[in-house]
Every structure is written in C-alpha cells, then in structure tokens.
C-alpha cells in the first residue's frame, strides 16, 4: 500500500487539531454501536411496543445500519483535515485520486457540515428534559449517555476546520 506524503510547503497541523480530529471521528461510535444493536434485533432500552413502533426490522434495519455507517464515514472525513490524504487524495479514489482538493471548497464544505451538525445534534444535550415513553427508564438514560458525545462533533469539526484554513492560508503567503 502506497502512503500519501505530506505537502512540504504546508506547516504541520497543530497537535490539538490532530487530537480534536481523532476525537470527532470517535464520537459517533457509542451511538452507532447502540443503533447496530437495534438493527440486530435487540430492544436496547426500548420497550417491546416502542421497539415495534420504531420499525427497526426489515428496511428499518437497513436504514439504521446505513445511518450508522454513513455517520462514521462522515466523521472519519474530519481526519482528512489533518492527514496527508486530505492534502492529496489517494490514487485509489475514483476520478479525483492523486489530485489536490480545492482548499476553499474543503473549508466551505467542512464549515457547512460543522454548522449543520451543531444545529442538528445540540438537541441531544437536552435529552433528559423530554419524556421517552417508548423506552424503559434505564434504556432512556443509557441512550442519552451514548448520544451525548455527538453534541461535541460540530464544534470539534469547526475547530479543526479553522486550523486547516489557517494552515492553508499561512502556506499561501
């Protein structure tokens, strides 16, 4: 396997940004594992009636697995802001492999993603303020704990995006 080399004209990413990117990639795992359990047929904190009403079987299971895999893949893209493969796309990527992504397009896309994630996922900070009658009390508590890390995904992506932009801007001078 051929590795992508870091662009020598760019300063290395700050250590905090590398750590934040890795944290962002890991934040989706707890809720993702929980959703995979739901797709596998475990009630995972739902009451029997609540589980049936949510429709986690058949195409519902496919949706839940797709949501989990898609979310993790999007979270892993954060690493591209601090890794060499984000500076020059790997050659195995169809149509664009071996090319440099447009830094402005990357910054705009990542900034929009950070804003959307913050807007959508902040609701999980208020999980316990609302009743969840389709879940057992313990199940609701565990689900809230598993989803709570997602609240940090948007702000972490925003911080890593800002570091990426500053690093690219410094190299352009």
Half-sphere exposure of 43 (CA within 13 A, CB side): 15
Cα separation, 135 vs 143, whole angstroms:
9
What's the confidence (pLDDT) of residue 56? 87
Q: What is the mean pLDDT of residues 18-35?
A: 96
- Of 86-90, 99-103, 136-140, where does mean pLDDT reach its minimum? 86-90
- Which has more pLDDT, 57 or 151? 151
Which pLDDT value is given to residue 173? 55
List of residues 6+ apart from 31 with CB closer than 8 A: 146, 147, 149, 150
pLDDT of 171 strictly over 70:
no
> Is residue 92 within 8 Å of 85, Cβ to Cβ?
no
The model carries a pTM of 0.88
**pLDDT tens-digit profile of 70-81?**
999 999 999 999
pLDDT of residue 1: 46
Which two tokens mark 111? 């900034």
Average pLDDT, the chain: 90
pLDDT grade, residue 33 (50/70/90)?
A: very high
- Residue 149: the pLDDT is 97
């Amino acid at each position: 396997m051929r590795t992508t080399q870091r662009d020598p004209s760019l300063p290395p990413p700050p250590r905090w940004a590398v750590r934040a990117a890795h944290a962002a990639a890991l934040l989706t795992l707890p809720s993702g594992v929980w959703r995979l359990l739901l797709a596998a047929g475990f009630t995972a904190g739902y009451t029997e009636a609540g589980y049936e009403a949510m429709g986690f079987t058949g195409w519902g299971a496919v949706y839940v697995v797709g949501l989990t895999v898609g979310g993790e893949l999007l979270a892993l893209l954060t690493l591209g802001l601090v890794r060499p493969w984000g500076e020059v796309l790997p050659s195995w990527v169809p149509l664009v492999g071996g090319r440099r992504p447009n830094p402005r397009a990357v910054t705009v896309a990542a900034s929009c993603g950070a804003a959307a994630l913050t807007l959508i996922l902040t609701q999980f900070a208020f999980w316990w303020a609302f009743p969840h009658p389709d879940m057992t009390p313990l199940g609701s508590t565990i689900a809230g704990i598993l989803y709570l890390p997602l609240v940090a995904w948007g702000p972490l992506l925003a911080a890593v995006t800002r570091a990426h932009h500053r690093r690219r801007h410094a190299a352009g001078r």
